[in-house]
Amino acid sequence: MKPIKWNKAEREMLCSQLRDGVPIERVKIPRRKREGIRRQALKLCLIEKTRHRAPTKEDLLLLQFLREQGFNAKEIAEMGVLHTPRRTANAIQKYFSHMGLVDPIRSTATKNRKVWQNGELQRFEQFLVQNSKKIPPRQIAKKFGVAMTTVDQHQRKLGVKSTFAETMATPFMKRHVRKFLQERSKKVILRFEEHIAQREKLLEELAEILRSKKASRPEDRRCKKCGKIWLKHRKFFFHAEVKMPKRSVWYFTRICVICEARNRHKKRMPRYRRKYAI
């Protein structure tokens, strides 16, 4: 989300309050936070930049105590317990990092964050302008050693963000999707017996529920292939609907859906073996 630019009326309001002797900590401007007001005052040279004194041992112990009590950096910054000048939430979070009171995974990610060298950011943005429509964000991120969110952020800033359809049409994503579908198909084919057993168990549970409803209970029908008795219902046998002027008639087959699934799987296996080398 882009920051909202300061307009002329807001800048005049800031200048008038500081001219009247209001401390920067008490200056109030609609829609503006305390940190944003301070940054704007520094930018306009209305106040002098004050350097914070180094935290004392007592300050660090107080921060550790508040952290143990469950307060986060933003809440501690609003308390103003470290005296003047007021510390921001980012500054207090840095103190927590130095004291080892933050998540180690987050600390590792912060340390390994990409640091752009001289001219590297310009080359990166130039590459995005030239190749964003040809190369997907995943491959660009791998090439420059950055996160995909970084690529997405710079593409949006430069106005070269490709659509989902354009990304999926790149050769890299086509190969990636084809490989994923092949691996998934292999797993589905190899786990067919497990899947069909689970499906049969669910149908048996459904049959018990339907049989318990005596008022609307369908009649029994035996599968001519496996010999198992199911219900004459569209969940258990394939059917066709014939619509008439005043009613609809259902015509059910004599082979249950489990046997039909086994037949189709048996017919498709030779093609699957050639395609996926199973």
Whether 118 and 89 have beta carbons less than 8 Å apart is answered as: no
Distances (CA, A) of 189 to 30, 175, 184: 62, 21, 9
pLDDT at 109: 63
Side chain identity, residue 275: K
- The answer to whether residue 267 is domain-embedded is yes
Q: Where are the alpha helices (DSSP H) in 145-170?
A: 148-158, 164-168
Side chain identity, residue 230: W
Question: Are 272 and 199 found together in one domain?
Answer: yes
Question: Are 105 and 136 found together in one domain?
Answer: no
**Number of domains into which the chain is organized:** 4
Label residue 110 by pLDDT band (50, 70, 90): low
pLDDT at 133: 87
| 84 or 155, higher pLDDT | 155
Average pLDDT, stretch 245-261? 83
Cα–Cα distance measured from residue 86 to residue 25, given in angstroms and rounded to the nearest whole number: 8
Radius of gyration of the chain from Cα atoms?
34
- Peptide bond before 3: cis, by omega within 30 degrees of 0? no
DSSP 3-state of 256: strand
Q: How far is CA 27 from the centre of its chain?
A: 38
Question: Are 197 and 139 found together in one domain?
Answer: no
Instruction: Please choose, from the candidates 46, 55, 64, 45, the residue with its C-alpha nearest in 3D space to the C-alpha of residue 85.
Output: 55
Evaluate if pTM is beyond 0.85.
Answer: no
What percentage of residues in the chain have a pLDDT greater than 90? Answer: 5
- The answer to whether residue 49 is domain-embedded is no
pLDDT at 124: 92
Instruction: Please choose, from the candidates 101, 104, 107, 99, the residue with its C-alpha nearest in 3D space to the C-alpha of residue 68.
Output: 101
Label residue 164 by pLDDT band (50, 70, 90): confident
CB neighbours of 33 closer than 8 A, spacing ≥ 6?
none
Label residue 105 by pLDDT band (50, 70, 90): low
Cα–Cα distance measured from residue 233 to residue 17, given in angstroms and rounded to the nearest whole number: 79
pLDDT at 86: 72
What percentage of residues in the chain have a pLDDT greater than 70? Answer: 92
Among 56-60, 82-86, 164-168, 234-238, which is the least confidently predicted range? 82-86
Q: Where are the alpha helices (DSSP H) in the chain?
A: 8-19, 34-43, 57-68, 73-79, 89-98, 104-111, 120-131, 137-144, 148-158, 164-168, 171-190, 192-212, 257-276
Cα–Cα distance measured from residue 63 to residue 73, given in angstroms and rounded to the nearest whole number: 9
Domain that holds residue 164: 120-173
- The answer to whether residue 180 is domain-embedded is no
Whether 114 and 150 have beta carbons less than 8 Å apart is answered as: yes
- The answer to whether residue 233 is domain-embedded is yes
Question: Are 169 and 105 found together in one domain?
Answer: no
Average pLDDT, stretch 12-17? 90
Please determine, for residue 65, whether its predicted confidence score (pLDDT) is greater than 70.
Answer: yes
Question: Are 207 and 266 found together in one domain?
Answer: yes
Please determine, for residue 127, whether its predicted confidence score (pLDDT) is greater than 70.
Answer: yes
CB neighbours of 146 closer than 8 A, spacing ≥ 6?
114, 124
| 125 or 247, higher pLDDT | 125
pLDDT at 107: 63
Average pLDDT, stretch 175-197? 83
pLDDT at 85: 65
DSSP 3-state of 193: helix
Distances (CA, A) of 268 to 190, 197, 262: 13, 19, 10
Question: Are 215 and 268 found together in one domain?
Answer: yes
Q: What is the dihedral of CA 48, 49, 55, 58, to 10 degrees?
A: 30
pLDDT at 147: 85
Mean pLDDT estimate for the chain? 83
